[in-house]
Amino acid sequence: MELSCGPGVWGHLPCASLQDSSASGGLRGATVVDALDTLYIMELEEEFQEAKKWVEESFDLNVNGEASLFEVNIRYVGGLLAAYYLTGEEVFRRKALELGEKLLPAFNTPTGIPRGVINLGSGMSWSWGWASAGSSILAEFGTLHLEFLHLSELSGNPVFAEKVMNIRRVLNRVEKPQGLYPNFLSPVTGNWVQHHVSIGGLGDSFYEYLIKSWLMSDRKDSEAKRMYDEALEAIEKHLVKKSAGGLTYIAEWRGGILDHKMGHLACFSGGMIALGAEQAAAERRQHYMSLAAEITHTCHESYARSDTKLGPEAFRFDAGSEAMATRLSERYYILRPEVVESYMYLWRLTHEPKYRQWGWEVVKALEKHCRVEAGFSGIRDVYTTTPSHDNMQQSFFLAETLKYLYLLFSEDDVLSLHDWVFNTEAHPLPVNHTDSKGSLQ
Ligand code: DMJ
């Protein structure tokens, strides 16, 4: 895969994808595990049985190598948990727990903030070489909560929940500049290492997991709700801007200086803010729904302004440009889900037909520009219709992009937002509707 190296190039991983197994610690079958629940939900029975058989017979967890704690958690653990909850098949529960155990040594740091990389065989862990001064990444250690609570619930072992509750404690203790959460934190001192804030890569799913922790706990985890409310207020105050052409966007913040750029990754925030709006005080609800709709509109513009009708990796609002990539290195599209994810939430919460229309535009564009003989491929430049495929189908295409598109055109009771929360890889986890004390909070 020809991508330049550096943080946030895709997801949170530099220079690698799970397909080439350089971040999966030697775990194979990312696409199979990531796609299990999509196959099941779409009633592709034969394909689902084939995938299940592969998990039973060939999915080997005794591997050695450099694994991303975050990616293994959201794709593999999340995928297995969702497959278990949807089907009740024991094999998925067993594998999820076994894999979860293997992630625990990453938390052996002075603060309990896990390091980003772990060897699944030896349990040794370390920080990403590119991360500032041995730091851990907000979006990585902040995107474990949902899965880890379910691991404790299913195993009866509180250790998983304790690990993520400790992360909360550290985050609540440390001072937040202007109420914002920077992207890099030292697992040794528990202090921020740099004051770079982003709702896109490196920060994104931390915020998502706060509001979803509240929802998954059946609205009992009021600490998560408070953290989400305060974070969103600070983001709105310092990062949300309107362009000269009237487009609302969320800028990035580098020690107080704004970078007027929005990554494709940041486009999940329309959906998140809409989901959170439902939970807001009555007088704020409409305000947050409008903000969510405006951001989603901006992300749609980033698609509509390209020749392929697919959006670039990042788009800018400077030098006379609006919602378009201005750098060659930001023109690619790797089948990411965030824009259709927001369409799905906005559709479910408003039923405004435009969200289905916009989703259908994406379906057509994917068919036209990304379909290849063996599946779908990313493209190198969304501003040209001369195809230049990157020869890669990321596992999140089946896990997220196609699942969100499917849900956009399904009835609301297919994985109802009342009963399920989606982890950041779109794996549905059940809301804890029981009254049992202390569980899943
Ligand atoms: C996915 O793996 C997850 O949605 C993650 O939170 C961010 N990036 C990718 C898809 O773009």
- Write down which residue in 236, 253, 274 finishes a domain: 236
**Cα of 398 from ligand 1 centre, angstroms:** 12
Q: Which residues, 6+ apart, have CB-to-CB distance to 171 below 8 Å?
A: 142, 181, 227
Q: Find out whether 277 and 288 touch, Cβ atoms under 8 Å.
A: yes
Q: Which domain holds residue 4?
A: 1-236
Do both 232 and 243 map to the same domain? no
- Write down which residue in 236, 254, 270 finishes a domain: 236
pLDDT of residue 23: 81
**Cα of 396 from ligand 1 centre, angstroms:** 7
Do both 159 and 207 map to the same domain? yes
**Cα of 313 from ligand 1 centre, angstroms:** 12
Please indicate, yes or no, if residue 154 is contained in any of the structural domains. Answer: yes
Do both 214 and 69 map to the same domain? yes
Closest CA to 440 of 183, 85, 38: 85
**What residue owns the CA closest to ligand 1's atom 11?**
336
pLDDT of residue 441: 53
Q: Find out whether 160 and 148 touch, Cβ atoms under 8 Å.
A: yes
Please indicate, yes or no, if residue 438 is contained in any of the structural domains. Answer: no
Do both 176 and 244 map to the same domain? no
> Residue 123: which pLDDT band, with cuts at 50, 70 and 90?
very high
Give the atom of ligand 1 at the shortest distance from the alpha carbon of 336.
11
Do both 229 and 256 map to the same domain? no
pLDDT over threshold 60, residue 436: no
Annotated active-site residue 313? The verdict is: yes
Do both 211 and 278 map to the same domain? no
Do both 221 and 244 map to the same domain? no
Do both 245 and 354 map to the same domain? yes
Lookup result for tokens 């709700």: 225
Which protein residues are within 6 Å of ligand 1, measured from CB? 11, 204-205, 265, 336-337, 396, 400, 424-425
Do both 261 and 159 map to the same domain? no
**What residue owns the CA closest to ligand 1's atom 6?**
424
Catalytic annotation, pick one of 71, 147, 153, 313: 313
Domains held by the chain: number: 2
The rounded mean pLDDT for the chain is 94
Which amino acid does the sequence have at 239?
A: L
Portion of the chain with pLDDT greater than 90, in percent: 90
Task: Give the CATH number, domain containing residue 348.
Answer: 1.50.10.10
pLDDT tens, residue by residue, 63-110 = 999 999 999 999 999 999 999 999 999 999 999 999 999 999 999 999
Q: Which two tokens stand for residue 252?
A: 């990035």
Please indicate, yes or no, if residue 418 is contained in any of the structural domains. Answer: no
Please indicate, yes or no, if residue 75 is contained in any of the structural domains. Answer: yes
pLDDT of residue 3: 27
> Residue 435: which pLDDT band, with cuts at 50, 70 and 90?
low
pLDDT over threshold 70, residue 21: no
Please indicate, yes or no, if residue 324 is contained in any of the structural domains. Answer: yes
Do both 161 and 230 map to the same domain? yes
pLDDT tens, residue by residue, 289-335 = 999 999 999 999 999 999 999 999 999 999 789 999 999 999 999 99
pLDDT over threshold 70, residue 18: no
* Ligand 1 probe mutation, 9, 12, 71, 74, most atoms within 8 A of CB: 74
**Cα of 138 from ligand 1 centre, angstroms:** 14
Do both 53 and 182 map to the same domain? yes
pLDDT tens, residue by residue, 239-283 = 999 999 999 999 999 999 999 999 999 999 999 999 999 999 999
pLDDT tens, residue by residue, 140-191 = 999 999 999 999 999 999 999 999 999 999 999 999 999 999 999 999 999 9
Please indicate, yes or no, if residue 417 is contained in any of the structural domains. Answer: no
Please indicate, yes or no, if residue 420 is contained in any of the structural domains. Answer: no
- Write down which residue in 236, 254, 280 finishes a domain: 236
pLDDT of residue 25: 86
* Ligand 1 probe mutation, 265, 333, 392, 404, most atoms within 8 A of CB: 265
Please indicate, yes or no, if residue 430 is contained in any of the structural domains. Answer: no
Portion of the chain with pLDDT greater than 70, in percent: 93
* Ligand 1 probe mutation, 400, 401, 402, 427, most atoms within 8 A of CB: 400
Q: Which two tokens stand for residue 399?
A: 């896990």
Give the atom of ligand 1 at the shortest distance from the alpha carbon of 341.
4
Give the atom of ligand 1 at the shortest distance from the alpha carbon of 205.
6
pLDDT tens, residue by residue, 386-419 = 989 999 999 999 999 999 999 999 999 999 999 9
Give CA–CA dist 423/67, Å, rounded. 19
**Cα of 258 from ligand 1 centre, angstroms:** 24
Give CA–CA dist 340/268, Å, rounded. 8
Do both 221 and 255 map to the same domain? no
Measuring CA to CA, how many Å separate 346 from each of 100, 221, 231, 315?
Answer: 33, 24, 21, 22
Q: Find out whether 17 and 68 touch, Cβ atoms under 8 Å.
A: no
